[in-house]
Structure 1
Amino acid sequence: MSEALNRLLGRSSRPDPARADRAAEIADLVRAALSLSPQAAVTVQQLACAEPGCPPIETKIAVLGDGSGRRWTIHAPMSEVDEQTVRETLTTRPEGENT
């Protein structure tokens, strides 16, 4: 598979500084929305989705270290995830998704 196709599908082996910056911005939105302590770990990843009916790229958010280990999926690339989307996702399912 070509590097361009891998990047499109969120599977590039090269670091993408813009995506890393965007992941950090989304993590900060999550921390603010959930009033998390600085010790809580928040991870944000953009992944290719191979499940039937799933958009080709999704954003996965995980909160660890707050005693619950919650996870959410947003069916859009990180570049399309805004503050409103994060807040709606977290307030609609504050307990996270069953994974």
Structure 2
Amino acid sequence: MSEQKTMVQTSIALGEAHYLLAQGHDPEELKQRIGAAIHSGGAFVDFVVVGNRTVSAFLDGRERIILTVETVLFDERDTGDVEAPFGGSYDIDVNRIVEGLDPI
């Protein structure tokens, strides 16, 4: 029996919105950009989510921001290439995926 491939996946919660970041996103670099946006009084921060789509969020420090890192089954489609999007909705509800209600 072969071992299942896994990958590290980062999710970000911005207020009530939850996003799964695409592979290749450096969570430490994203934290630095978020911190810079907040320190400047507010700015848009772009990031690529699962489905290879770009999200642009205005962050000014008033919102709750949580990054979570976990190991999940490997998904070869999750390349972070915005020129090759996949899936239907980029506003994936992480809670429903974790509970097994929505497939990625």
User: Structure 2-normalised TM-score?
Assistant: 0.28
Tell me which protein shows more strand as a share of its residues: 2
Structure number with greater CO (CA < 8 Å, separation at least 6) is 2
User: Structure 1-normalised TM-score?
Assistant: 0.29
